[in-house]
Amino acid sequence: MRRLRYFWALSHTEIDAMQETVLLLDDDETMLGIVEGILSGAGFECVTCNDPLRAIDLIASRPDILVVLSDLLMPGVNGLQLADRLNALDVGRSRPRMLLLTAHPTLEAAVDALRLGVRDFLVKPVRAPELIEAVGRALSLAREDRAASASRPPQVEHLMRQAEELAGRLRNLAYVTETQEAKEPGGAPTTVHKVPPRARPAARPQVGKAPDDDGGTLAVLETIERLRRLRARYEHHKLDDTAWDLLLELLRAERLRQRMSVSGLAISAGTASATTSLRRVNELVARGYIERIPDPKDARRDFVALTSKSQELLGEYLSQAISYVSALTA
């Protein structure tokens, strides 16, 4: 009866989405069983996992996984770190939509989750109807993502790959990710095992500094500053730091397939006041770097998107940035 009751509560879109798979991730086996029971009872196809690193392998190898429902607090790799890892994962297709569950919500975690493209931030104990509705929405969006990815123009797809490559190389600067061979005082080799990115926040980057000094953090900060200075090569575009940050923030949103409104972009960039950012958004629209797209459901709101002009600029900038970071990690 429970299965039938939930089944009839779903829309046709959600019923179609049930042919796809939802990955459930939690180190608490009891909670994992409860969530699986609710979603399986509603007709969703589920696979469970209690290890975040194993979950990443599953996502990489199984294109049928369209949604990941993960606990926020887990040992080793938490839910936010997992979302970050998924954003950097090159699977040759659109990534799964992600939902987070937590019994201890904070505003900071919620904001971080949204910036990482997390679809919903659910609070335990979550009610069954709320959980089913959230997963149904995420599955619908995941299918839209795959359709959009298949129809995306080649130049835009290339720009997204460049952004992902740069993000991945910056992660490699910030965290120890390669197996190293070390020697003990007696000369016997000791293996230092590979540590997944973001699984160990205390790890220091390898950029030509000794592993026991504090130069790693400074090297990363210097790298970020030099990437900012690369913009000087494009001074003929006459874009200040606020304009650059707005374009890069919009690229980040498009990469995560988030629709960004004019006011949302002005607020989310965060490097200037909302008033200054909004003025700069209007200037970028007037100069052809951003286009406004009216919201068909709300005449008071416009969405924004990158134009071919800004895509070309960002593509060239990302190419230069990738070359610079590649030289550091060679």
Give residue-wise pLDDT tens across range 267-299: 877 667 888 999 999 999 999 999 999 988 888
Task: Report if residue 189 sits inside a domain.
Answer: no
Closest CA to 135 of 258, 24, 255, 61: 24
Closest Cα partner for 136 from 14, 19, 40, 39?
A: 14
* Residue among 24, 28, 31 nearest 54 (CA): 24
pLDDT above 90 covers a percentage of the chain that reads 27
Q: With respect to residue 223, please indicate whether it lies within any of the assigned structural domains.
A: yes
Q: Is residue 10 domain-shared with residue 110, that is, in the same domain? A: yes
Q: Are residues 6 and 146 in the same domain?
A: yes
pTM of the full structure: 0.53
Q: What is the pLDDT of residues 151-165, one digit of tens each?
A: 555 666 666 666 666
Residues 136 and 14 reside in one and the same domain: yes
Q: Are residues 242 and 101 in the same domain?
A: no
Handedness of CA 78, 59, 140, 116 (dihedral sign): positive
Q: Is 197 domain-assigned?
A: no
Q: Taking residues 165-178, report their average pLDDT.
A: 54
Query: Cα 10 to the chain's mean position, in Å?
Result: 28
Domains of the chain: total: 2
- Is residue 95 a contact partner of residue 86, using CB atoms and an 8 Å limit? yes
Cα(183)–Cα(225) distance, rounded to whole angstroms?
A: 35
Between 22 and 106, the higher pLDDT residue: 22
Confidence of residue 17 (pLDDT cuts 50, 70, 90): very low
Structural domain including 8 reads: 2-151
Residue 37 sits in the same domain as residue 142: yes
Question: Would you say residue 165 lies in a domain?
Answer: no
- Domain of residue 285, CATH code: 1.10.10.10
Of 151, 185, 217, which residue is a domain's last? 151
**Taking residues 118-141, what's their average pLDDT?**
88
Number of C-beta neighbours around residue 165 at 10 A? 18
Domain CATH number, residue 121: 3.40.50.2300
Q: Is residue 142 part of a domain?
A: yes
Which tokens in the block code for residue 91? Answer: 């699977």
Q: Are residues 143 and 277 in the same domain?
A: no
| 188 within some domain | no
Q: Which of 44-48, 160-164, 321-325 has the lowest mean pLDDT?
A: 160-164
Radius of gyration, CA atoms only, the chain: 22
Q: Pick from 107, 132, 151: which residue ends a domain?
A: 151
* 166 domain-assigned: no
Q: Note the pLDDT of residue 184.
A: 41
Tell me which of 267 and 52 has the higher pLDDT: 52
Boundary (domain end) residue, out of 115, 134, 151? 151
Q: Say yes or no: 37 and 136 in one domain.
A: yes
Distances (CA, A) of 46 to 20, 33, 77, 197: 9, 11, 21, 27
**pLDDT, average across residues 300-322:** 89
Instruction: Say if residue 219 is in the same domain as residue 142.
Output: no
Residue 264's Cα: distance from chain center in Å?
18
Task: Give the rounded percent of residues in the chain with a pLDDT score beyond 70.
Answer: 69
3 — pLDDT class (breaks 50, 70, 90): very low
Q: Is residue 82 part of a domain?
A: yes
Residues 9 and 124 in one domain: yes
